[in-house]
Homo-oligomer: A and B are copies of this chain.
Amino acid sequence: MEIRDARPEDWPAVWAFAAPIVASGEHFLWEADTPEARLRAFWIEKEAPASALVAVVEDGSVDGRVVGIAEIHPNQPGRGSHIANAGFMVDPAVRGKGVGRALGAAALARAKADGFTAMQFNAVVATNTRAVDLWHALGFRTLAVLPETFRHPTQGLVGMHLMFREL
């Protein structure tokens, strides 16, 4: 697996696995009808100090297959811009193979290299235990669970983890 900077032409491969994830409504705040252009802008059209990375595996083609994406951006503007925030998506077809962990580690390294001093997540859905466990394993701590802040499509109101890790 290779982790490299995302390029605009990666989007179709990302959208192929991202569209069903967003449509499920289980992991992200976006409504199912969120325009693809808005998601493309969020995930891949980044300008410094924001950035995006993709995980690529060999599949016999010249460029390989994109199986995951990470995006990094300042968590707040101005006087809070030294703290990074990040988002992650992994193709469910490759779950359990360490793609999320590799992207997480790469995003932490990139954020540190870009001068951020910590990474904060504001909205890790509590029912997404795979993500919660991964971030804890990568050194994040849950500072708070924000009660009933996420409208889950099947489980009703659930909490979101506020996670934090120094860099």
Contact = CB atoms under 8 A, between A and B. Distances in A.
B83 A149 contact: yes
Interface string A115-136: 0011010110000000000000
A123 B160 CA distance: 17
Interface of A is mostly: strand
B149 A162 contact: no
Interface string A126-153: 0000000000000000011011111110
A152 B150 CA distance: 32
A29 B118 CA distance: 17
Given A30-B78, A80-B29, A162 B150 contact: no
Contacts of A164: 146-147
A150 B80 contact: yes
A79 interface: yes
B151 A82 contact: yes
A117 B151 CA distance: 12
Contacts of A28: 78-79
A144 B120 contact: no
Interface string A75-94: 11111101100000000000
The 9 closest A-B pairs by CB, nearest first: A143-B144, A144-B144, A29-B78, A31-B78, A79-B151, A29-B80, A29-B79, A30-B78, A29-B76
